[in-house]
Amino acid sequence: MNPNDAIRQQILQYFYDRNASATSRFGKKGSAVKISDAKRELKQRYGLTKQQVMSNLTYLIDQEWIKTVEVEKTVQVRGGTVPSTVTWYEITAAGIDKIEGESEFQPSERYAGINITATGENVITLGDGNVVNVNYEQLHKELSGMKAAISDSKTLSENQKLDLAVDIETIKDQLAKAVPNKAIIGHLWSGVEKVATAAGFVDFVVRIAPLIAGLLP
pLDDT tens string 14-65: 999 999 999 999 988 899 999 999 999 999 999 999 999 999 999 999 888 9
For residue 77, the model assigns a pLDDT of: 77
Query: Where are the strands (E) in the chain, listed by range?
Result: 33-34, 66-77, 80-91, 123-125, 131-133
**Over 50: is that where the pLDDT of 128 sits?**
no
The confidence band for 119, taking pLDDT boundaries of 50, 70 and 90, is very low
Domains of the chain: 4-98 (1.10.10.10), 102-213 (no CATH)
For residue 127, the model assigns a pLDDT of: 46
| 179 CB-side CA count, 13 A | 1
- Residue in 146, 148, 108 with CA at minimum distance from that of residue 125: 108
Q: In what order do the strands lie in the sheet with 66-77?
A: 33-34, 80-91, 66-77
pLDDT tens string 169-206: 899 888 888 788 989 999 999 999 999 999 999 999 99
For residue 110, the model assigns a pLDDT of: 52
Q: What is the DSSP string of 62-118?
A: HTTSEEEEEEEEEEEETTEEEEEEEEEEEE-HHHHHHHH---TTS---TTTT--GGG
For residue 122, the model assigns a pLDDT of: 63
| 138 CB-side CA count, 13 A | 10
d(CA 98, CA 14): 13
d(CA 37, CA 58): 16
For residue 70, the model assigns a pLDDT of: 86
pLDDT tens string 66-111: 999 888 877 777 877 878 888 999 999 989 988 988 666 665 555 4
